Chain A
Amino acid sequence: MRRSAGRDTRAAVLFLGPLFLFLGLFILLPVVGTIATSLYRDISFVDREFILFDNYLRLLGDDSFWRSVRFTLFFIVCSVPLELAIGLGLALFLNQPMPGRWFFRAAILIPWAIPAAISARAWQLIYNFHYGLANYLIVVSGLSESPVNWLGSSLGAFIALVAADAWKTAPFVAIIFLAGLQAIPDELHEQGRIDRASFFQRFRNITFPLLRPVLVVALLFRTIDGLRVFDLIYVLTGGGPAGSTNSLSLLGYRYFLAGDFGHGAAVSVALFVISLVLSIAYARMARFGGISY
Chain B
Amino acid sequence: MRLTAKLLLPLLMAAFICGCSGTDSGTLTLAIGGAPDEIAYWERLISRFELDNDIEVNILRQPTDTDQRRQGLLIALKSGQADPDVFLMDVAWLAQFAASNWLEALDSMLESGSVSEAAFFERILNRADRYRNQLVAFPVYVDGGVLYYRTDLLAAHGFKSPPETWAELVETSRAIQEKERKNNPYFYGYLWQGAQYEGLVCNFLEVAASGGGGIIEKENRILVASPENIRAAKLMKDFIHKYEISPPSTYTEMKEEETRLFFQRGQALFERNWPYAWLLHQQEESAVKGVVGIATLPHFEGGRSVSTLGGWHIGLSRFSDRKDDARTLIKFILSYETQKALALNLGWTPGRRDVYRDSLVLASLPHLADLAEAFENALPRPNFPYYTQISEILQRHLNAILSGESEAERALGAAEREINEMAGRYRDTP
Contacts and interface: CB of A to CB of B under 8 A. Distances in A.
B11 A18 contact: yes
A153 B388 CA distance: 24
A169 to B, nearest CB: 24
Q: Report the 7 A-B pairs with minimum CB-CB distance, sorted nearest first.
A: A240-B196, A45-B99, A242-B400, A44-B100, A129-B249, A243-B396, A258-B388
Nearest to A234: B67
Contact of B249 (A128, A238, A254, A260): A128
Contacts of A64: 396
Contacts of A154: 405
A271 interface: no
Nearest to B255: A238
Contacts of A240: 195-196, 251-252, 396, 399
A44 B96 contact: yes
25 contacts: A11-B3, A14-B7, A21-B11, A44-B74, A49-B430, A64-B396, A128-B253, A130-B247, A130-B249, A130-B262, A152-B251, A152-B252, A152-B403, A153-B405, A238-B197, A240-B196, A240-B396, A241-B399, A241-B405, A242-B397, A242-B399, A242-B400, A254-B388, A258-B392, A260-B426
A143 interface: no
A89 interface: no
Interface in A240-279: 240-243, 254, 256-261
A45 B67 CA distance: 19
B331 interface: no
Contacts of A11: 3
Interface of A: 11, 14-15, 17-18, 21, 43-47, 49, 58, 64, 124, 128-130, 149-154, 157, 238-243, 254, 256-261
Given A49-B430, A238-B197, A241-B405, A257 B70 contact: yes
A56 to B, nearest CB: 14
Interface in B353-409: 385-386, 388-389, 392, 395-397, 399-400, 403, 405-406
A270 to B, nearest CB: 18
Contact of B71 (A18, A21, A257): A257
Contacts of A130: 186, 247, 249, 262
B266 interface: no
Contacts of A124: 253
A46 B369 CA distance: 42
B430 A47 contact: yes
B345 interface: no
Interface of B: 3-4, 7, 11, 67, 70-71, 74, 77-78, 96, 99-102, 186, 195-197, 247-249, 251-253, 262, 385-386, 388-389, 392, 395-397, 399-400, 403, 405-406, 425-426, 429-430
Q: Which has the most chain A C-beta neighbours within 10 Å: B77, B101, B247, B425? A: B425
B289 to A, nearest CB: 22
B392 A254 contact: yes
B189 to A, nearest CB: 15
Nearest to B4: A14
Given A44-B78, A149-B252, A241-B399, A259 B7 contact: no
Contacts of B425: 58
A153 B71 contact: no
Most chain B CB inside 10 Å of its own CB: which residue of A21, A44, A47: A44
